[in-house]
């Protein structure tokens, strides 16, 4: 559970204003963090709590009493079954229906009054969603409602006995990888019309093009296609991509918010989307394992949350052997993904087609899954660095990154630092030199009319070409918009030749047209006039080429040939 301020800083400014209105608080700022601090101070004030309780219906008080009796935390399913659901609404529906004025249940009323929040926490059965009271609201509510907290504290996850490992010879770091790959994915889908097939999959051409947009694999054992499949799923789950009319493209508002966020918040948003995603099943995406759908089910949230809990107990920055970690889990928590301890009803085959059943195959199933969790998804999500004994060899050890430690402990992100001014440079070769601290939002706008030429640790280089500008013009980006953008990000230092070329390329666009046509020739000019005078033939003829020739549009040739034959003008035998 979190104090109220930490719960509020996860909300956007519109949600904070909504809570303020429902509790009669007049916010004096539009800055989200300042608004959260002001609102937290107001809602935890004794007078505010007393006023809210005095006007509260009995059903809502009963819900608060129930939470206080359970130390401020109850499983979401149990709470909503007893006190009603909290409807999920988008901003437009919230504005239209104003649910805080007419809540559908006591739970929803408390939600919009800022008393209760939701979170995912580890239990003996895996990661579960809980409704909770902020920690600084629990004592005053317990006193005001005269309810002692009687529930026992939750049981802790078993702690692994794991010794540190020596530092590796080669460190494999994915720092910055997640942001860069998601950015490349969003940009490609923005500028390239990408349609999904009947099975909901990308066409091979688009899949190959996206492979080429991603950073090289972290290590040789990684397949770029596996990472692409994960990123496509993750970005859709995070709400960044939307499918409309069989086309997959970025959802404008969520994508803009993500691009404009700080790097730490961009990474955290994607990490959290993965942590709570029940639809991505790592067991079914682990190389070497081939689960068969014969009616059995497994919970990806359970396995994921138990592994994350074991990682949470480790020291950030310290290196650990992957083999030792797997062995420690087997010794301490072997049933981390099988709470019933059932090893005989999950039908999983290896690459050779052999079924991996029984506890004797734990290393081939659970051990392989843990190894893949560390070397694939957690590495792609920047939770861990990997270490190998030599360049090109598979990882043998791992290290929790600083960002990974913050994620594992679900710590609130620090306030965003003041933005550092960064200026792009456009040279006379139409190259755009982008500093590493440039915002992804600016790079996204640049990428709409420039092509990526080179990524480097000190800068990213784009090049403006006639082809990239033509693509942008087709997508509705005008040359004036491109010039205005370049002037802004270069502090009005865009070369005149580049500006003139952008306007020239726009002016030339569609000024020439190629068409497939047929030429009709006659022997005498009077015969052409005769054909043009025929009401059935005249509409099918195009522009004249001379006194005895006329163009025939391609779509009219078949009908004109038939009529000329019927009227006796044409004998094609």
DSSP 469-535: HHHHHHTT--HHHHHHHHHHHTTS---HHHHHHHHHHHHHTTSS----EEEEE-SSHHHHHHHHH-T
551 shares a domain with 462? no
287-301, 326-340, 421-435: range with lowest mean pLDDT: 326-340
pLDDT mean across residues, the chain = 89
- The set of residues, in sequence order, having a beta carbon less than 8 Å from that of 485 and lying 6+ positions away, is 445, 446
Question: Tokens representing 49?
Answer: 């709590």
* CA pair distance 312, 113, nearest whole angstrom: 33
**Residue pointed to by tokens 């909300």:** 11
- Same domain? For 504 and 521 the reply is no
User: What pLDDT shows up at residue 152?
Assistant: 45
| Closest by CA position to 375, among listed 318, 321, 331, 416 | 321
Q: Which one of 462, 491, 508 terminates a domain?
A: 508
Q: Residue written as tokens 């916010």? A: 27
Confidence band of 151 (pLDDT split at 50, 70, 90): very low
216 and 80 in a common domain: no
Residue 450 domain flag: yes
**How much is the average pLDDT of 410-418?**
83
Q: Judge if 392 and 479 occupy the same domain.
A: no
224 pLDDT band, cuts 50/70/90, is low
Q: Give the number of other CB atoms < 10 A from CB of residue 89.
A: 13
Q: What is the pLDDT of residue 415?
A: 83
| 553 & 476 share domain | no
Total domains, the chain: 4
Q: What digits encode the pLDDT tens for the residues 206-222?
A: 999 999 999 999 887 66
Residues 380 and 441 in one domain: no
Mean pLDDT, rounded, for 49-62: 91
| pTM, rounded to two decimals | 0.66
466 & 498 share domain: yes
Between 22 and 434, the higher pLDDT residue: 434
Higher pLDDT, 309 or 76: 309
Do 383 and 239 reside in the same domain of the chain? yes
pLDDT for residue 178 is more than 90: yes
Q: Are both 214 and 292 inside the same structural domain?
A: yes
Asked if 313 and 260 sit in the same domain, the reply is yes
Predicted pLDDT of residue 155: 42
**Domain span at 125:** 4-145
Q: What is the pLDDT of residue 150?
A: 46
Distance CA 493, CA 425 (A): 8
Residue 381: pLDDT band (50, 70, 90) is very high
Phi-psi label, residue 84: left if phi above 0, alpha if psi -120 to 50, beta otherwise = left
**493 and 522 together in one domain:** no
Q: Which residue has the higher pLDDT, 445 or 344?
A: 445
| pLDDT given at position 229 | 93
Highest average pLDDT, of 142-156, 270-284, 501-515, comes from 270-284
């Amino acid at each position: 559970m979190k104090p109220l301020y930490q719960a509020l800083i996860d909300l956007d400014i519109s949600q904070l204003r909504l809570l303020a209105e429902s509790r009669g608080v007049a916010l004096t700022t539009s800055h989200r963090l300042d608004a959260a601090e002001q609102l937290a101070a107001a809602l935890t004030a004794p007078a505010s709590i007393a006023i809210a309780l005095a006007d509260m219906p009995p059903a809502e008080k009963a819900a608060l009493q129930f939470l206080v009796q359970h130390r401020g935390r109850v499983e979401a399913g149990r709470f909503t079954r007893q006190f009603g659901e909290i409807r999920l609404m988008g901003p437009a529906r919230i504005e239209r229906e104003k649910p805080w004025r007419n809540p559908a249940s006591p739970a929803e009323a408390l939600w919009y009054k800022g008393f209760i929040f939701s979170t995912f926490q580890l239990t003996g059965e895996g990661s579960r969603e809980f409704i909770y009271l902020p920690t600084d609201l629990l004592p005053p509510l317990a006193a005001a409602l005269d309810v002692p907290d009687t529930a026992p504290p939750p049981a802790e996850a078993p702690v692994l006995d794991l010794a540190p490992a020596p530092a590796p010879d080669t460190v494999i770091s994915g720092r910055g990888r997640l942001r860069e790959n998601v950015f490349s994915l969003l940009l490609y889908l923005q500028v390239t019309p990408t349609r999904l097939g009947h099975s909901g999959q990308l066409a091979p051409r688009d899949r190959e093009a996206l492979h080429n947009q991603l950073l090289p694999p972290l290590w040789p054992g990684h397949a770029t296609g596996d990472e692409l499949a994960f990123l496509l799923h993750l970005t859709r789950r995070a709400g960044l991509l939307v499918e409309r009319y069989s086309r997959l493209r970025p959802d404008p508002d969520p994508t803009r918010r993500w691009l404009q966020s700080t790097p730490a918040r961009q990474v955290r948003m994607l990490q959290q989307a993965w942590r709570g995603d029940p639809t991505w099943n790592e067991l079914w995406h682990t190389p070497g394992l081939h689960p068969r759908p014969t009616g059995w089910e497994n919970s990806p949230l359970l396995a994921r949350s138990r592994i994350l809990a074991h990682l949470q107990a480790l020291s950030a920055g310290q290196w650990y052997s992957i083999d030792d970690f797997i062995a420690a889990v087997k010794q301490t928590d072997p049933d981390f993904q099988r709470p019933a301890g059932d090893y005989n009803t999950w039908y999983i085959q290896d690459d050779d087609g052999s079924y991996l059943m029984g506890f004797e195959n734990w290393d081939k199933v659970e051990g392989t899954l843990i190894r893949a969790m560390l070397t694939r998804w957690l590495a792609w999500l920047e939770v861990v660095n990997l270490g190998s004994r030599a360049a090109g060899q598979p990882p043998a050890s791992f290290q929790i990154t600083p960002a990974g430690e913050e994620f594992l402990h679900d710590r609130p992100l620090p306030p965003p630092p003041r933005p550092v001014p960064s200026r792009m440079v456009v040279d006379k070769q139409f190259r755009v030199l982008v500093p590493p601290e440039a915002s992804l939002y600016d790079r996204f706008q640049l990428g709409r009319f420039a092509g990526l030429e080179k990524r480097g640790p000190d800068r990213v280089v784009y090049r403006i070409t006639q082809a990239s500008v033509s693509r942008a013009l087709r997508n509705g980006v005008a040359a004036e918009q491109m010039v205005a953008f370049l002037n802004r990000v270069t502090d009005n230092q865009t070369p005149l030749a580049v500006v003139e070329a952008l306007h020239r390329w726009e002016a030339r666009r569609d000024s020439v047209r190629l068409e497939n046509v047929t030429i009709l020739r006659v022997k005498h000019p009077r015969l052409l006039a005769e054909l043009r005078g025929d009401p059935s033939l005249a509409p099918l003829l195009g522009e004249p080429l001379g006194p005895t020739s006329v163009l025939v549009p391609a779509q009219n040739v078949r009908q004109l040939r038939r009529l000329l034959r019927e009227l006796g003008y044409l004998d094609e035998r």
